[in-house]
A = this chain, B = another copy of it.
Amino acid sequence: MNTSPIPAYTPATFGVGARLTLSVMSDNYVRVILGALADADATGLEVHPGDVSTFAAGAEADLVRYLTQVVAAAGRSGAHVSAAIHFSRGCPGEVVCELPDGAGPLAAEIPAVSATGVASVAEWALYPLDDTGRDDVSPDHMRDIYAAIDFARQNGTFEKSEHFVTRLSGDVADVIQTVAAGWILVGRSVQHVTSHVTLSINSPSAR
């Protein structure tokens, strides 16, 4: 059994971050997207806009607050909006993780959120990518995926399971909280966890 202390990783050294692709289906999309990004509170985050996505790195609560504010602001334009968010933790670096397998998980709390008043539907996938944890932690990703789905049922966002994804609905804040919660809960026993969600707001084809 490995009894050495878990190194004191920070969100930055542990590779905690997200990519956001925000799509606004309006001729005014540039103004809406740039406004939403400019007005959101990015305190604590390193943010790099790109031509495919905006990359943000930092602590879970800061990511959830920032992403919720950006997506909700775009939704308040009244336009049909889709937002693809890709969370990652435990694999800083690029093709090869700079953290070795077995560096261990980094625990975090589920961030509290406040409703935005913007309704959304979403499709969500959660990927535990490393079960070769340290000897002194107990990896069990199915346990944590069920815990994530229980969280979604309790906060009212769980709608149903579909092919490849779980369908969520609710306030943008609650949907993003659910996705982050799943990612954080699995991340308590698995080092490298990613999660992808696509939110849809103001869809003309919404039921």
List the interface of chain A (C-beta within 8 A of B).
15, 17, 19, 21, 23-27, 29-30, 49-53, 55, 57, 80, 82, 84, 86, 88, 91-92, 94-95, 121-123, 125, 127, 129, 145, 149, 161-167, 194, 196, 198-200, 203-207
Contact = CB atoms under 8 A, between A and B. Distances in A.
B29 A203 contact: no
Contact of A164 (B19, B30, B122, B162): B19
Nearest to A28: B27
29 contacts: A17-B163, A19-B164, A23-B25, A25-B26, A25-B29, A26-B26, A26-B27, A27-B27, A51-B200, A51-B203, A51-B205, A51-B206, A53-B123, A53-B198, A55-B162, A55-B163, A82-B82, A82-B84, A84-B84, A86-B125, A86-B164, A88-B163, A88-B164, A92-B163, A94-B163, A95-B161, A125-B194, A125-B196, A127-B127
A52 B122 contact: yes
Nearest to A204: B30
A95 B149 CA distance: 9
Given A82-B84, A94-B166, 9 more contacts: A19-B163, A23-B82, A25-B25, A51-B121, A51-B203, A52-B199, A53-B165, A55-B163, A94-B161
Can you list the 7 inter-chain pairs with the closest CB atoms, starting with the nearest? Answer: A23-B23, A94-B161, A25-B29, A88-B164, A84-B84, A51-B205, A52-B200
